């Protein structure tokens, strides 16, 4: 299953067959969300509101207040920034059972569209809102399982998707481990790489390359960013002598890097190098070239591990 967007919709469709409470709310995102099959199968449970994200989130709050399980799907930034207050005050504060799916998250999501359609702030924004769980799976197969987990979890959950053209790293049947990080590779304990999202293939390649050079790392997929697996993070920091690199397609402020640093500071002080967008805006470009140009190349990860190891 290659496309994260199709994977999410496949999971939603399957869950909706069993659960008549599931509703899809679309602020003109039906095509982007690959939701045409949902609309055709469940026309009475598909709510199109037009290009109006704030309205979509408020409507979802109302639907949830009557017992439905609405899923709002649209571009990550329009959802988490334009409708941020609606998420916070009308969904998270009363703890309503609304699911949020953000498309085009990261540079990988927006790529050629440019900065207006690339969103590297969504995790940071939502992480500061009490009561919102944040899932950032690594590929289409994981998204499929994560979307089902999202619906099973009670209360507000955000699922981070990108363009739909993300590299495959997992076997299809590999389950999504909610609330626990997963060791994707364990070459040794020279350093730990905490990675999240659709740059996992790069982190994997970097870990493999380092291994060939005799530098043995643990690669951990942190697919649940909130609540963070504190115990898992601390364990890996301690095993590796407190040498860590974080990798994410997000601003280095607010996302996985910040989360790991917070845990490290409080529980197991460590040297952490954060890779991600360094508090700047990217630009239009092909996905792979963009990641290379903005500090997320395999070489960047390799070099960061070498630097942290020397510290």
Partner 1 sequence: MTDKELMRMANRLRLDVVETVHTAGDGHPGPCMSVADLIAVLYFDEMKIDPANPGWQERDRFILSKGHACPILYAALARRGYFEPEELKKLRSLEGMLQGHPDMQKTPGIDSVSGSLGNGVAIGLGMALGLRMQKVESYVYVAVGDGEMDEGVVWEAAMAAPQQKAGNLIVFGDCNNEQSGGRCTELTSLYPVADKWESFHWHVQTIDGHDIGQIKEAIRRAKGVKDCPSFIEMKTIKGKNIPYMEDNNAWHKKTPTAEEVEIARRALEGRI
The residues that touch partner 1, with contacts defined as CB under 8 A, are: 23, 44-45, 47-50, 52, 54-55, 58-68, 70, 85-86, 89-90, 93-95
* DSSP codes joined into one string, 106-149: HHHHHGGG-GGG-BSSHHHHHHTSTT-EEE--SSHHHHHHHHHH
Angle of the 140-152 helix axis to the 4-18 helix axis, nearest 10: 30
- Tell the smallest beta-carbon distance from residue 245 to partner 1 (Å): 40
- Tell the smallest beta-carbon distance from residue 179 to partner 1 (Å): 24
| Cβ neighbour number for residue 208 with a 10 Å cutoff | 15
* Cα 181 from Cα 192, distance rounded (Å): 12
- Tell the smallest beta-carbon distance from residue 28 to partner 1 (Å): 11
Chain-centroid distance of CA 181 in Å reads 13
**Is the bond into 227 cis (omega within 30 degrees of 0)?**
yes
> Which are the contacts of 169, defined by CB distance < 8 A and separation ≥ 6?
138, 139, 184, 200, 201, 204
- Tell the smallest beta-carbon distance from residue 79 to partner 1 (Å): 14
- Residues, the chain, total? 311
Neighbouring-strand partners of residue 183: 220
The residue among 196, 14, 180, 36 whose CA lies nearest residue 105 is 196
Instruction: Indicate the residue among 52 and 234 with the shorter CB distance to partner 1.
Output: 52
Instruction: Indicate the residue among 64 and 135 with the shorter CB distance to partner 1.
Output: 64
Instruction: Indicate the residue among 50 and 214 with the shorter CB distance to partner 1.
Output: 50
Instruction: Indicate the residue among 29 and 54 with the shorter CB distance to partner 1.
Output: 54
- Tell the smallest beta-carbon distance from residue 16 to partner 1 (Å): 12
What phi and psi values does residue 177 have, to the nearest 5 degrees?
-100, 90
Pairing, β 271-277 against β 243-251: parallel
User: 44, exposed or middle or buried, with CB in 10 Å at 0-12, 13-18, 19+?
Assistant: exposed
Instruction: Indicate the residue among 61 and 135 with the shorter CB distance to partner 1.
Output: 61
- Tell the smallest beta-carbon distance from residue 90 to partner 1 (Å): 6
The residue among 195, 215, 213, 212 whose CA lies nearest residue 204 is 195
Instruction: Indicate the residue among 70 and 167 with the shorter CB distance to partner 1.
Output: 70
- Tell the smallest beta-carbon distance from residue 97 to partner 1 (Å): 11
Instruction: Indicate the residue among 93 and 187 with the shorter CB distance to partner 1.
Output: 93
Instruction: Indicate the residue among 51 and 265 with the shorter CB distance to partner 1.
Output: 51
- Tell the smallest beta-carbon distance from residue 126 to partner 1 (Å): 18
């Amino acid at each position: 299953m290659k496309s994260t967007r199709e994977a999410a919709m496949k999971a939603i469709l399957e869950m909706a067959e069993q659960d008549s409470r599931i509703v899809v709310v679309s602020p003109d995102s039906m095509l982007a969300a690959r939701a045409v099959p949902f609309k055709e199968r469940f026309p009475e449970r598909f709510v199109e509101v037009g290009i109006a994200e704030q309205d979509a989130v408020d409507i979802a709050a109302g639907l949830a207040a009557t017992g439905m399980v609405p899923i709002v799907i649209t571009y990550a930034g329009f959802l988490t920034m334009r409708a941020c207050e609606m998420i916070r005050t009308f969904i998270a504060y009363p703890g309503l059972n609304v699911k949020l799916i953000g498309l085009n998250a990261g540079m990988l999501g927006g790529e050629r569209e440019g900065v207006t359609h690339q969103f590297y702030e969504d995790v940071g924004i939502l992480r500061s809102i009490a009561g919102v769980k944040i899932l950032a799976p690594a590929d289409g197969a994981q998204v499929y399982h994560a979307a089902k987990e999202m619906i099973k979890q009670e209360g507000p959950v955000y699922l981070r998707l990108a363009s739909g053209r993300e590299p495959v790293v997992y076997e299809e049947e590999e389950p999504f481990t909610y609330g626990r990080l997963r060791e994707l590779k364990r070459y040794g304990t020279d350093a730990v790489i905490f990675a999240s999202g659709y740059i996992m293939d790069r982190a994997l390649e970097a870990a493999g390359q380092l291994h060939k050079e005799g530098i043995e790392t643990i690669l951990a997929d942190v697919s649940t960013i909130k609540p963070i697996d504190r115990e898992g993070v601390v364990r890996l920091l301690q095993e590796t002598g407190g040498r860590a690199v974080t990798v994410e397609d997000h601003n280095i402020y607010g996302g996985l890097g910040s989360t790991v640093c917070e845990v490290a500071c409080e529980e197991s002080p460590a040297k952490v190098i954060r890779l991600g967008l360094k508090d700047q805006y990217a630009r239009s470009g092909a996905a792979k070239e963009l990641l290379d140009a903005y500090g997320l190349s395999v070489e960047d990860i390799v070099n960061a591990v070498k630097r942290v190891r020397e510290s």
